[in-house]
């Protein structure tokens, strides 16, 4: 009676989430998004469209930016995952998080975790991106509130302050 994808027996996967090792029993085709939210209680990762278009569920897998709604749990086996909950250290905001606060990069906040992770990923690749590179780097993450300009400012400010280092 279940959806076919979830009929298969659960399997064990081991992964590191925000630096913490986890071993979980999950359906192999369960979405990584659901594993993070429901199994690990990491609800900072958001669902916006469920089809990989909006980027709200963006997380890093082994340093790659992915839409976690499109990743089956099994694919995350052995991987190191970073979610929004993994960016601040000891209650201190990561520079990007602070810049999003300062510049008005977060309004309703629903796209913000994904947007910050996409920005984080961008700055890892290009520590001092041009405006065009920021536009391109964030084009997989939709925001309906801000019109993006203040997000660009936030990324530029974080880059200036050395967020990538």
Partner 1 sequence: MKTAPIVGTSVPRMEGRAKVTGEARYVDDMVLPDMLHGATVRSRIPRGKIKQITFGPGIDWNEFVIVTPADIPGKNCIALIEDDQPCLADGIVNHPEEPILLLAHPDRHLLPKAVEAISIKYEPLPAIFNMEESETLQQIVWGTDNTFKTYLIEKGEVDAVWQKADHIVEAEYTTGAQEQLYIENNGMIAAFNPQQGLTVWGSLQCPYYIHKALMKLCNLPADHVRVVQMETGGAFGGKEEYPSMIAAHAALLAMKSGKPVKIIYDRMEDMAATTKRHPSRTRHRTAVSKDGRILAGEIDFTIDGGAYKTLSPVVLSRGAIHAGGAYFWPSIRIRAKAVATNMPPHGAFRGFGAPQSLFALERHMDRIAQVVGLSPVEIRRRNFLKPGQTTTTGQTVKEEIDLGKLLDRALEFSDYQAKKERFAQDNQQSAHKKGMGIAAFLHGAGFTGSGERFLGSVVGVEAIADGSLRILVSSTEFGQGTNTVLCQIVAEALGLRYEDVTIAQPDTHEVPNSGPTVASRTVMVVGKLVQSAAVGIRKTLIASGMLSDSYTPEEFRAACRAYVAKHGKIRSLAQYEQPEGIFWDDEKYRGEAYAAFAWAVYIAEVTADLTTYSVTVDDFVALQEIGRVLHPVLAKGQIIGGVAQGIGFALYEKVIWENGRMQNGQITNYIMPTSADLPPIRVYFEELGNVHGAYGAKGIGELPMDGPAPAIINAIEDALQISFRSIPLLPEDIFVALSESATPEALASTPRGRE
Contacts with partner 1 by CB under 8 A lie at: 1-3, 6, 37, 42-51, 53-54, 56, 83-85, 87-88, 93, 97-98, 100-104, 106-113, 116, 134-136, 138-152
Minimum distance, C-beta of residue 147 to partner 1, in the bound complex (Å): 3
Taking the least distance from each CB to partner 1, the nearer of 127 and 147 is 147
Burial class (CB in 10 A: 0-12, 13-18, 19+), 138: buried
What DSSP assignment string belongs to 4-45?
A: GGGTSPPEEEEEEETTEEEEEEE-TTSBHHHIIIIIS--TTS
Shortest Cβ 50–partner 1 spacing (Å): 6
Shortest reach from residue 111's CB to partner 1, in Å: 5
Distance in Å, CB of 159 to partner 1, minimum: 16
Spatial distance between the Cα atoms of 63 and 125, rounded to a whole number of angstroms = 10
Beta-sheet pairing, 20-26 with 80-82: unpaired
- Our CB check for partner 1 shows the closer of 60 and 106 to be 106
Torsion angle of C-alpha atoms 76, 80, 86, 88, degrees rounded to 10: -160
Phi, psi of 89 (to 5 degrees): -120, 130
CB nearer to partner 1: pick between 15 and 96: 96
**Which of residues 14 and 136 has its CB atom nearest to partner 1 in the complex?**
136
Please identify, using beta-carbon distances, which residue of 79 and 97 lies nearer to partner 1.
Answer: 97
């Amino acid at each position: 009676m279940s959806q076919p994808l979830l009929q298969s027996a659960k399997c064990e996967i081991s992964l590191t989430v925000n630096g913490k090792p986890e071993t979980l029993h999950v359906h192999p085709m369960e979405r990584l998004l659901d594993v993070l939210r429901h199994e690990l209680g990491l609800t900072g990762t958001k669902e916006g469209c469920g089809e990989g278009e909006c980027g709200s569920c963006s997380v890093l897998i082994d340093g790659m930016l992915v839409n976690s709604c499109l990743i089956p749990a099994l694919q995350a086996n052995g991987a190191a995952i970073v979610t929004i909950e993994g960016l601040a250290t000891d209650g201190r905001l990561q520079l990007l998080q602070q810049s999003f606060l300062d510049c008005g990069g977060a309004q309703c906040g629903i796209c913000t975790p994904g947007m910050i992770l996409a920005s984080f990923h961008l700055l890892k690749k290009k520590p001092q991106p041009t405006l065009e590179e920021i536009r391109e780097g964030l084009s997989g993450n939709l925001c309906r509130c801000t019109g993006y300009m203040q997000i660009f400012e936030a990324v530029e400010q974080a880059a200036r302050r050395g967020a990538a280092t």
